[in-house]
């Protein structure tokens, strides 16, 4: 299972994004490398699926400083508090395919420096397929179960617009940068796109992914730095 908590949501239930935010993917890659890396020039595409979204019960201990002594023992109190139960949305049996334009990092994923997790620290993952593939540019493709730039709203009417953390700036005490994206949890063929003019899109496609109705899986690459985003998705 995994869960990607909505930021700033503190009321009784913790909903989850249905797609890992870019900042989560950055941390995932950094854990394999064993260090924070300069995101400039590093681009990623994602394909993410899960079987179902369910609720589980968790709890937190809300603590505060205490005075006095522990009844029956006489030891001085340091902290006291209460248990706060709440519901958390989790994604059951998730599967992530992550594309990176860094083939030289292959060995880091074969022998990651830190435990492989995605989401919370207890959400353990394992790598089942690590390889270098050659992508091809095509103007016939389909996209599915992926993260799209918000600018794609001019082409498709499917998907959900969300505000996600894109990157946490470690040079500014992990200051979060947010960006709008479209979460697409279904399949859309390029023939179903709506083009405002004659400038049709072409995308990198993965020739190793299953073809559907003659189309190959299209990949939309993103950057972790905002000033690169426009050039990557144009």
| Residue-wise pLDDT tens digits, 33-58 | 999 999 999 999 999 999 999 999 98
Whole-number pLDDT of residue 234: 41
CA distance 157 to 192: 10
Concatenate the DSSP letters of all residues of 62-112 into one string.
EEEE--SB-TTT-PBP-EEEEEEEEEEEEEES-EEEEEES-GGGHHHHHS-
Furthest CA-CA distance within the chain: 80
| Residue-wise pLDDT tens digits, 55-87 | 999 888 888 998 888 888 888 888 888 888 889
CA distance 43 to 153: 21
What is this structure's pTM?
0.88
**Partner residues linked to 122 by β-bridges:** none
Domains of the chain: 13-57+88-233 (3.30.70)
Mean pLDDT computed over 91-95 = 97
CB 116 within 8 A of CB 126: yes
């Amino acid at each position: 299972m995994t869960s990607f908590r909505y930021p700033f949501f503190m009321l009784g239930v913790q909903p989850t994004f249905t797609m890992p935010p870019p900042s989560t993917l950055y941390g995932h890659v950094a854990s394999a490398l064993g260090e924070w890396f300069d995101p400039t020039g590093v681009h990623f595409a994602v394909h993410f699926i899960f079987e179902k979204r369910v609720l589980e019960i968790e709890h937190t201990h809300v603590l505060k400083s205490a005075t006095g002594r522990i009844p029956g023992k006489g030891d001085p109190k340091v902290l006291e508090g209460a248990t706060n139960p709440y519901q958390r949305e989790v994604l059951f049996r998730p599967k992530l395919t992550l594309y990176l334009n860094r083939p030289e990092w292959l060995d880091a994923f074969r022998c990651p420096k830190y435990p492989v997790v995605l989401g919370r620290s207890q959400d353990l993952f394992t790598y089942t397929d690590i390889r270098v593939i050659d992508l091809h540019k095509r103007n016939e493709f389909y996209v599915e179960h992926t993260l799209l730039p918000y600018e794609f709203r001019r082409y498709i009417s499917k998907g959900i617009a969300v505000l996600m953390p894109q990157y946490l700036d470690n040079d500014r005490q992990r200051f979060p940068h947010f960006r709008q994206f479209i979460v697409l949890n279904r399949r859309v063929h390029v023939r179903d796109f709506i083009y405002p003019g004659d400038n049709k899109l072409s995308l990198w496609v993965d020739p190793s992914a299953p073809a559907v109705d003659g189309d190959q899986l299209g990949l939309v690459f993103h950057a972790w730095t905002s000033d690169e985003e426009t050039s990557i998705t144009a």
